Structure 1
């Protein structure tokens, strides 16, 4: 199963050079696609590393026994510089091309959440069968992806790469969000965080 490493750094907007300086001691950027985005209304940085971390370890760094161990080492390194940051290894569970596939994304919308245990099966079927395919089909959506965090919370991470900000909140977008199934599932969300980002360096396409 493909994996993505997500690094979250609160209260900072790091540019590409700062990110590369931070990661160079543990990540070989030649083997890793860096996707960098800044909170549009919040001062935070999200970094997505699109290769498995085991393939991205710098050549002069001792190899770890597993992707989880490698992620732990990356997290420890990042925390030395940004004590409030975190780094998580996530499984890609759904990856859909959008209506605007091939265009350059400028915006990156993220929904992170947990869900009540009794509604989890319904929640996952809703995302897979209706919600994410519906939003992928909205004009201006370039790509959609679901990630699953193996440990910790929130466990579910949905991202949407958008051609323009007007896509979010457009009539087709709102129609997908307003279905009966959506109304049944959404009250079961827990620990939910919704964030709009501007894309600084696009490494997911």
Structure 2
């Protein structure tokens, strides 16, 4: 009964395919179902093609995409871990699919001797983004002109030194006092991130050669 109902729902091409099967297969539902799944339900895209055409999802993190690309490599049997040339191509394929142009430019300027080094950099990037230190806010404008008068009566003559004029028994005395510049923590984090990546890459390179 199952075989009859199944046959009535088939397309003409599928019925022709079923008709050329052996009698043992055509008359046994279990065997027929296995043959049908093998013929029509298998993926039409090979693992190798999936790997070479893989793209990053819109809502996917860079690190998650790297993991997915690594898995596709294993299934396609590319074996990037056993070949320097394949490893470089694997990393280039990953970087090419990044949507963050700033991160792409930073990674392209580095040389990774292992995919685990790239993974480390991406983890550092995610930690910086999660902490909120990597901010895109523009720093406030600061006026360091010599004639600029700050609050509290201090007249700045340069960026790091301010002079306070005070009257003591009719005499004008100029005293200098050191003023620490106001530094935005976001600016520091933004400036130190590329340097940290470069230091990490250099440290890994020395460990690799030692």
Task: Flag the structure with higher helix content.
Answer: 2
Q: Normalising by structure 1, what TM-score? A: 0.21
Q: Normalising by structure 2, what TM-score? A: 0.21
Which of structures 1 and 2 has the larger relative contact order (alpha carbons within 8 angstroms, sep 6+)?
1
Task: Flag the structure with higher strand content.
Answer: 1
For the pair shown, which has the larger CA radius of gyration, 1 or 2?
2
